[in-house]
């Protein structure tokens, strides 16, 4: 027996919402309707006054007093001090980064210093184990010893680990500091830096302690992706494909026609792709900021399977995006076997994912363990299996009560 819950955004997505260089405009017009307005004259004026390169795309996340802009550009990292301090007063910045991207944090730090800001650099070891209570505790002590107060602003320079950890520090130190996200992995640029989920892990329980704490500003530079290891980059591409499947068939088609340029990390394509993903995620977050209506669940397409692969194989064996890539194919096959979609919908996803050099086959693992892992996933409701399944390209539904035997058949078919 399958129970279906329609997952519809309350307003139709308007994919022309990505605006070019509208920092001035967006602050003046915080109403949703303002997203449709572009003022070329104001934008040009802003760029001239601030001497900024003009390829920047801006996505506005409209959350009343917690609204913010995401600026997506190329070679814009060193603009951060000017961009931030021209909008908000700032005297002290705490830059939190990891050991692999310290050189990028140095660019941010010197840009802030040039804008007359005192900076404190906090370095944490690269990798998931840094999303821990011990690392958070060490950072709280460091912030205290550096005279951090409520006027200080935290800058998170790194991947999703740094964004989550630094955001959590910002949410908790002195009961809340402003913070800026400067995401440096593709996954962080299209996903974790948007939406305000911050947190750390407990032993054996990922993201178990955290908060919804929206950033004040997000600055994305496509150029930083040039140094990202191939596997990490491809892993981020899986999340990009996910947005197309769940919300935007036109975007999916755009990805299909730009596989080579995506593989080459072409800056023009990346700006468009990142901006579109941020817009799509922002639409979902605006409609369900704190994950209360169930709408935000659409973002979990492929994730019920993916979390099971990660748990059974051991975290770190598959990168998250790789697990999501396989998980999306499983979910699509499951939708097929339930008669919800035509095989061609799965076929297109397979071709795109393989074209982007992502895995699509279920790894060596026992079905029983995978099913147990799915049932104990924290997003499961009382052990009932729930899946986000497509009913066409660009649209998904949350489906509960899928029989275990159907899931096992799907796993076997995807091996």
Which residues make up the interface to ligand NAD (CB under 6 A)?
98, 100-101, 126-128, 131, 158-162, 164, 184-185, 187-188, 191-192, 195, 197, 207, 224-225, 227-228, 232
Q: State the nearest-atom distance from the C-beta of 278 to ligand NAD, in Å.
A: 12
Asked if 60 is an active-site residue, the reply is no
Q: Which is nearer to ligand NAD, 176 or 383 (CB)?
A: 176
Asked if 175 is an active-site residue, the reply is yes
Beta strands across the sheet bearing 57-61: 19-20, 57-61, 68-73, 217-221, 178-183, 153-158, 92-98, 118-124
For 386-412, b/e burial (b = at least 16 CB within 10 A) is bbbbbbebbbbbbbeebeeeebeebbe
Q: State the nearest-atom distance from the C-beta of 338 to ligand NAD, in Å.
A: 27
Q: State the nearest-atom distance from the C-beta of 38 to ligand NAD, in Å.
A: 29
Asked if 351 is an active-site residue, the reply is no
Q: Cβ distance 162 to 98 under 8 Å?
A: yes
Instruction: Please state the φ and ψ torsions of residue 395, each to the nearest 5 degrees.
Output: -150, 135
Distance, in Å, from the CA atom of 36 to the CA atom of 15, rounded to the nearest integer, reads 10
Asked if 286 is an active-site residue, the reply is no
Asked if 395 is an active-site residue, the reply is no
Q: Which is nearer to ligand NAD, 85 or 359 (CB)?
A: 359
Asked if 366 is an active-site residue, the reply is no
Q: State the nearest-atom distance from the C-beta of 224 to ligand NAD, in Å.
A: 4
Asked if 310 is an active-site residue, the reply is no
The tokens of 38 are what? 């572009």
Q: Which is nearer to ligand NAD, 286 or 336 (CB)?
A: 286
CA nearest to 242, candidates 333, 321, 163, 343: 321
CA nearest to 408, candidates 312, 305, 324, 317: 305
Asked if 4 is an active-site residue, the reply is no
Q: State the nearest-atom distance from the C-beta of 127 to ligand NAD, in Å.
A: 6
Distance, in Å, from the CA atom of 312 to the CA atom of 323, rounded to the nearest integer, reads 11
Q: Kindly name the residue from 23, 135, 239, 397 that is annotated as catalytic.
A: 239
Asked if 265 is an active-site residue, the reply is no
Asked if 320 is an active-site residue, the reply is yes
How many contiguous H segments (helices) and E segments (strands) does the chain have?
16, 13
Q: Cβ distance 192 to 167 under 8 Å?
A: no
Q: Which is nearer to ligand NAD, 127 or 176 (CB)?
A: 127
Residue nearest to ligand NAD (CB): 160
Q: Which is nearer to ligand NAD, 73 or 158 (CB)?
A: 158
Q: State the nearest-atom distance from the C-beta of 1 to ligand NAD, in Å.
A: 32
Q: Kindly name the residue from 76, 300, 310, 340 that is annotated as catalytic.
A: 300
Distance, in Å, from the CA atom of 10 to the CA atom of 361, rounded to the nearest integer, reads 35
Active-site residues, by number, are 175, 197, 239, 281, 291, 296, 300, 303, 307, 320
């Amino acid at each position: 027996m399958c129970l279906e819950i329609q997952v519809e955004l309350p307003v139709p997505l308007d994919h022309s919402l990505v605006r070019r260089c509208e920092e001035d405009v967006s602050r003046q017009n915080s109403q949703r309707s303002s997203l449709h307005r572009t003022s070329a004259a104001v934008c040009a004026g802003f760029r001239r006054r601030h001497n900024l390169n003009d390829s920047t795309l801006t996505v506005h996340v409209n959350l009343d007093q917690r609204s913010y802009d995401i600026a997506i550009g190329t070679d814009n990292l060193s603009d951060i001090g000017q961009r931030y301090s021209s909008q908000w007063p700032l005297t002290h910045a705490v830059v939190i980064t990891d050991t692999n991207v310290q050189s990028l944090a140095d660019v941010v730090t010197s840009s802030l210093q040039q804008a007359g800001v005192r900076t404190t650099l906090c370095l944490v070891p690269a990798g998931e184990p840094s999303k821990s209570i011990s690392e958070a505790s060490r950072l709280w002590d460091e912030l205290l010893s550096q005279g951090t107060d409520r006027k200080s602003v935290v800058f998170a320079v790194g991947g999703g680990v740094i964004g989550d950890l630094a955001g959590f520090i910002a949410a908790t130190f002195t009961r809340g500091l402003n913070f800026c996200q400067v995401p440096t992995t593709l996954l962080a640029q299209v996903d974790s830096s948007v939406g305000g989920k911050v947190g750390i892990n407990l032993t054996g329980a990922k993201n178990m302690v955290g908060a919804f704490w929206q950033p004040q500003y997000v600055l994305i530079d496509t150029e930083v992706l040039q140094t990202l290891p191939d596997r990490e980059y491809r892993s981020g591409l899986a999340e990009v494909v996910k947005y197309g499947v769940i919300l935007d068939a036109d975007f999916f088609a755009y990805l299909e026609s730009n596989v080579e340029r995506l593989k080459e990390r072409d800056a023009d394509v990346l700006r468009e792709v990142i901006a579109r993903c941020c817009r799509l995620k922002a639409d979902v977050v605006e409609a369900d900021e704190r994950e209360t209506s169930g709408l935000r669940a659409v973002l979990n397409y492929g994730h019920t399977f993916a979390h099971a692969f990660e748990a059974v194989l051991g975290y770190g064996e598959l990168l998250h995006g790789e697990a999501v890539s396989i998980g999306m194919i499983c979910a699509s096959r499951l939708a097929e076997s339930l008669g919800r979609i035509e095989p061609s919908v799965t076929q297109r996803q397979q071709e795109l994912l393989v074209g982007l050099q992502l895995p699509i086959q279920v790894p060596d693992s026992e079905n029983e363990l995978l099913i147990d892992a799915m049932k104990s996933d924290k997003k499961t409701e009382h052990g009932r299996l729930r899946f986000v399944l497509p009913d066409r390209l660009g649209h998904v539904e949350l489906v509960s009560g899928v029989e275990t035997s159907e899931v096992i058949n799907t796993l076997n078919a995807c091996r």
